[in-house]
Structure 1
Amino acid sequence: MFYGQGESIVLQRDVEAVRVPDGEPVKLHKDEIVTIYQALGGSYTVLTEDGTMARISAGDADALGKEPPLIPDLKEGTDPETVKHNVWQVLKTIYDPEIPVNIVDLGLVYHVRVTPIEEGKNRVEIVMTLTAPGCGMGPVIQQDVEMAVKNLPGVEEVQVEVVFDPPWSRDMMTEAAKLQLGMI
Structure 2
Amino acid sequence: MPTKKQVENKLYDVMDPELDMSIMDLGLVYNVSIKKDTVIIQMTLTSLGCPLFETIESDIQRAMASLKVNEKNVKIDLTFDPPWSMDLMSEKAKATLGI
With normalisation by structure 1, the TM-score equals 0.49
- The aligned residue for residue 172 of structure 1 is 88
Gaps of 5+ in 2: none
Pick one of 60, 85, 102 that aligns with 2:22: 102
Aligned residues: 97
Gaps of 5+ in 1: 1-77, 117-121
SS of aligned partner of 1:168: coil
- The aligned residue for residue 43 of structure 2 is 128
- The aligned residue for residue 86 of structure 1 is 6
The RMSD of aligned alpha carbons is: 1.5
Structural mapping, 1:1-184, within 5 Å: 78=1, 82-116=2-36, 122-153=37-68, 155-156=69-70, 157-183=73-99
Q: Report if aligned partners of 1:105, 1:173 keep a CA contact under 8 Å in 2.
A: yes
Higher Rg of the two aligned structures: 1
Amino acid at match of 1:147: R
| Alpha-carbon shift at residue 171 of structure 1 (Å) | 0.5
Amino acid at match of 1:179: A
CA deviation map 1:112-137 (0-9, x unaligned): 00123xxxxx3100110000111110
- The aligned residue for residue 64 of structure 1 is none
With normalisation by structure 2, the TM-score equals 0.88
CA distance in 2, matches of 1:158, 1:181: 31
Amino acid at match of 1:148: A
CA distance in 1, matches of 2:76, 2:59: 10
SS of aligned partner of 1:111: strand
Amino acid at match of 1:166: P
Percent identity reads: 42
Structure 1 runs, 4 residues or longer, greater than 3 Å off: none
Q: Which has the higher contact order (CA 8 A, sep 6+)?
A: 2
CA distance in 2, matches of 1:139, 1:97: 11
